[in-house]
Structure 1
Amino acid sequence: MTANFDQAFVELDRDLFVRIVDAVGSSVTCISGCLWITRDGSLKDVELEPGERYLVEDAARVIVTGFGPSLARLSHPQVQHRPARPLGSLLRGWRRRLEVV
């Protein structure tokens, strides 16, 4: 299953996990229980207790599971979009870059 979200609460256990791809900028907060976080390419796993938060600093795939019944809050920063420029303005900018002087 693939889901896109800005924030989600997920119940986890030893047999339940969530995989986050393109996780850069995402954060995992332990609400209750105990969470175990594994990152692709990292030899060091992270354990979170209630109230602790982990910030993902690169685009590695992240897997989050619980040591027992646990609740995690997953947050991903919203993408800031620039307002669209009129097509004429965009084309003039490209023409200036392509002109030979």
Structure 2
Amino acid sequence: MQVRPQRLSLSLPKKAIFTLPDAHEVDIECQSGALWITIDHDRRDIVLEPGEHFRSASHESALVAALEPSCVRFSARRLSVAVAQEDAPQRTASPWRLWLRGMSPA
């Protein structure tokens, strides 16, 4: 029996945050706009632009923040999601693409 992946597409306003409690094997695709992804216990800043994908190998939670109005698609065998009501996540380092969009860590 072949299991079809679950898919979820969302339109996120600027600075909206979407939480994945377990990002393991979840494919995150930026369809429009720009997304900033942070994963618990991972110092990387992942920024996706239209057409780019990211897939985490860890079982940590991930925050997906919209740097501008964005459309995102999540695909996985099993999705577990939660919505956060807060501003964009704060990090110790910021790639230049965040700075160009007027965002910088505190």
Give the TM-score taking structure 1 as reference length.
0.68
Contact 1:12 1:69 in 2 (8 A): yes
Of the structure 1 ranges 32-41 and 15-24, higher mean CA displacement relative to structure 2 is found in 15-24
Gaps of 5+ in 1: 79-101
Contact 1:21 1:60 in 2 (8 A): yes
Show the counterpart of 1:86: none
* Structure-to-structure mapping, 1:1-101, within 5 angstroms: 6-78=6-78
> In the comparison of the two structures, how many residue pairs are matched?
74
Percent identical residues: 30
Gaps of 5+ in 2: 79-106
> Where is the helix percentage greater, Structure 1 or Structure 2?
1
Q: Distance in 1 between matches of 2:21 and 2:66?
A: 18
Q: Moved runs in structure 1, 4+ residues, more than 6 A? A: none
